[in-house]
A and B are shown apart, each in its own frame.
Chain A
């Protein structure tokens, strides 16, 4: 069975944008620093609105910040 996951490049994009800190990004998009940490760690998938706000913060389209990929699970049984 395929498992899909929302992935992101937030950490890479932060460093490319004048080494923006997690705190700065969090303040810019209106969330806590812990939420940014969870996003970067793949522990949280943002709402559509938050995804758009993050993309706008970097000045990039949504698909350059986030991707929706399939993870194939091994079926060895």
Chain B
């Protein structure tokens, strides 16, 4: 597994955990029908904060751990060459395109839900769900492209 694949795997697993946490906390609200803004604001803040932590800290930790593991395995320290070349950029773009399509469809679904009488808070909650789904699907797409080729 290359550095990029490991990074994406860490991101994918983290986003899956965030998704599970969000859905576990959202379903009781949906079932009860009590769309209390305060509860939802807290939940959204946690999801946004977790996403930022995953993006920044996850990436940094992966870099550090990979450097340590490679130094231990090769028994010498070399400056890590984490270069991003044209293939990485192309795969990144294709992943972003897939994420964008999923998120766009999700926003449309959320808007239609609002138009057909669902509360506005539900619309925003759905947007959050689809944003996480979009990231997960984008990560899966990138891993698949790395494994199978472009």
Contacts and interface: CB of A to CB of B under 8 A. Distances in A.
Interface residues of B, number: 11
B149 interface: yes
B86 A47 contact: yes
Interface in A34-70: 34-35, 38, 41-47, 50
Contacts of A21: none
B105 to A, nearest CB: 29
Interface centre among B4, B86, B87, B146 (most CB of A within 10 A): B87
Interface centre among B83, B85, B146, B149 (most CB of A within 10 A): B85
**Mostly helix, strand, loop or mixed at chain B's interface?**
helix
Nearest to B149: A43
B83 A32 contact: yes
Nearest to A35: B87
Q: For this complex, into which size category does the number of interface residues on chain A fall?
A: 10 to 19
A46 to B, nearest CB: 8
B150 interface: yes
Contact of A43 (B4, B86, B150): B150
A20 B88 CA distance: 23
Nearest to A43: B149
Interface of A: 30-32, 34-35, 38, 41-47, 50
Given A31-B85, A38-B149, A50-B86, 16 more contacts: A30-B83, A30-B85, A31-B83, A32-B2, A32-B83, A32-B88, A34-B87, A34-B146, A35-B86, A35-B87, A35-B88, A41-B149, A43-B148, A43-B150, A44-B87, A44-B149
Smallest CB-CB A-B distances: 6 pairs: A43-B149, A31-B85, A34-B2, A35-B87, A44-B150, A32-B85
